[in-house]
Structure 1
Amino acid sequence: MTLTVDELSEAQLLARIFPRLGTSDSVLLGPGDDAAVIAAPDGRTVVSIDTQVQDRDFRLTWPNGSHSTGYDVGWKAAAQNLSDINAMGAVATAMVVSLTLPRTTPVRWVEELAAGLGAAISALGAGDCSVAGGDLSGGSEIVVTVAVMGSLECRDPVLRSGARAGDQLAVCGTLGLAAAGWALLESGIDAADFTPDMEHAAATFARPVPPLAAGPAAAVAGATALMDISDGLLRDAGRLAAASGTRLDLDAVVLDKLAGELEPVARALGANPLHWVLTGGEDHGLLSTFPRGTALPDGFLGIGSVLPGATNQPAVTIAGADSRSVVQDAVGWDHFAV
């Protein structure tokens, strides 16, 4: 018989969660009091927050029959928040987590979520970070909200607004792979029939692997702008261009190469892999600009250049052409438009 959350008190459920979360030296006072105490030796704290909502950001059961485990959702909750701190050139130090759970949620699913949070923090290399506390509540659907704090390690934050004309544009991490995974889960292809390429794409969507060492490395290398690619390359590149008052021109040859790596999955779905590269989010890589001539840090790939801003020109082009002429509906992820 499956034990559900309505069969436990809040204290009993928390007692099953806390042992799965791990600890770190940055958390001076963790779960158990009204608030946590986090070390801030730099004197500044970087803060970000993200929410996952059932049937909006994940499905418990996907159209192809796959299931989102608590471990998957916990891992992703950690990864997407750690990526935001990484995109400031900072190092994560602590998280607080809010869970809204229907009464019928299996306790095992919640335990797996806690295990996924802790495992992602460790496996992704955020050893200075741990879960410092949070909140539990009941509701009609599962909602996972994570707030994460970080330290700049005595460096200045790297902002979206720092790109300058003449800079080189680069990415670190995958582009379009998570979107391919989402398309597979939404398809009619049973997971038992997935090829290794398909399995890799689906796993990247469920458990993204942001390059956490890359943010601080980019800051040290002199990055002029940084941001997390969570809503698609074109949408996020447009945000960086707007913040910095510039235009970004993407290299068509590099884009085609990245799309070619997704071709085996795209062929099975009858999809355009370039669409995934340009509009697919949730890989949680980094988009960055560096001064011309700067040696790119390990893991970064040159993907274009920064041009002077112009009111009569699109913010993002591909080999000089308006990106909308390449992918007509290249809008990226919008929480209120789907």
Structure 2
Amino acid sequence: MAARTIADEGEFGLIAAVTSGLTMPDAVTVGPGDDCAVFAPTGQVVVSTDALYEDVHFRKAWSGPHDVGRKAVGSALADVEAMGATPLGVVVALSAPPETPTDWVLEFTKGVREECELAGAALVGGDTTRGPAIGVVVTVFGDLQGRTPLLRSGARPGDVVAYVGRLGMAAAGLAVLGRGFRSPGAVVRAHRVPEVPYGQGRVASQAGATSLIDCSDGPLADLGHVARASGVAIDLDSGSLDVDEAQKTVAAAIGGGDPLNYILTGGDDHALLGTFAGSDVPQGWTVIGRVLPLGPDAEASVTVDGKVWSGDAGGWRHF
């Protein structure tokens, strides 16, 4: 007997299956099922949108539907954390071909719900539509709860640079998968699902962070945004960057490159990168550099051990 597809379910049957059994926190007064969700935050609201598309952000051959659901939500909610806000609500729009198995969508939904639960956010709505390939658009909301938003423009000379989360593991996983391998397992899992350090945006805010950013494109690229927005220079200490054994294994196996390149330029881990005044760095964060004043006629930049990094600059451009 052929597996049921989303065409068999129909739009409203699929929505009913996706939203079945959802519970809402007290802050959400109207959940899925009406024209809009309604929530009552205690402070200013932050909002962001991320899109993931098949064969651009993920491949079915590499990632299962549960992985895609978690990654879609986690990569979006990392931006809420980067503002120093508390995750509140998530809206997911799914585009898929009619022949997509219903089981794929249900497993995807399990991943969405699991990541929402990890973050303390509620799935409050969304949409489904026909499309030539699977596409996911996630809109996320966060509550600042009276705190001041953490911006990229707040870094000041004399601050230290620190991070929490993991760096460069997803990039090593992408390198492995791109060559047809499935090990080391740690880096492959990191590519499939990020480990967002939920709650640490709030911790950074309470510790007095001067700036904060989600590390989606690697420290060189993302701290470059901070440097330009703040009008400063940033220098990273390579000796403070711990290289995982799995990253060393991958680098050695695919050509003997410097595994630091994964850490400095690799994205999709969604660690948090922040700047702090002196001793204000929270417990569990690792100091990896410092903020410097710009010299005469100098441009905002990020260096490693006082020099321009000789490897890949990192970052990703869709166009």
Which category of TM-score, normalised to the shorter sequence, fits these structures?
over 0.9
1:84 aligns with 2:69: no
Taking the aligned partners of 2:71 and 2:22, their CA distance within structure 1 comes to: 15
Give the letter aligned to residue 168 of structure 2: G
Percent identity of equivalent pairs = 42
Question: What SS does structure 2 have at the residue aligned with 1:112?
Answer: helix
- Aligned partner letter, 2:166: T
AA matched with 1:159: L
Give the number of equivalent residue pairs: 316
Alignment of 1:256-335 (within 5 A): 257-258=242-243, 262-270=247-255, 271-294=257-280, 296-310=281-295, 311-313=297-299, 315-323=301-309, 326-327=310-311, 329-335=312-318
Unaligned runs of 5+ in 1: 62-66
Deviation at 1:184, TM superposition (A): 1.5
Q: CA deviation at 1:297?
A: 1.0
Aligned-residue offset at 1:335: 2.3
Supply the AA of the counterpart residue of 1:236: D
Kindly provide the amino acid, as one letter, of the partner of residue 31 in structure 1.
P
TM superposition shift of 1:259: 6.2
Range moving further from structure 2, 94-103 or 18-27: 18-27
What is the rounded CA distance, in whole Å, between the counterparts of 2:170 and 2:197 in structure 1? 14
Q: What's the offset of the Cα at 1:265?
A: 2.6
Shift, 1:218, TM fit = 0.7
Deviation, 1:172, is 0.8
TM-score normalized by structure 1? 0.90
Q: Residue 203 and residue 21 in structure 1: after superposition, are their counterparts in 2 closer, same or farther (change >3 A)? A: farther
**Which residue, 140, 156, 159 being the options, matches 1:164?**
156
Q: Deviations over 1:154-181 (max 9, x none)?
A: 1101111000000001111111001111
Q: Is contact 2:65-2:111 (8 Å) kept? A: yes
Q: Distance in 2 between matches of 1:251 and 1:31?
A: 48
Tell me what 2:222 maps to.
236
RMSD: 1.5
Aligned with residue 175 of structure 1, among 146, 153, 167: 167
Cα distance in 1 between the residues matched to 2:23 and 2:194: 20
Paired residue type of 1:169: V
Q: Distance in 1 between matches of 2:282 and 2:264?
A: 23
Greater alpha carbon shift after TM alignment, 308-317 vs 200-209 = 308-317
User: What per-residue deviation string (whole Å, max 9, x for no partner) do you get for residues 25-48 of structure 1?
Assistant: 222101111111011222x21101
1:60 Cα deviation (Å)?
1.1
Give the partner amino acid of 2:173: G
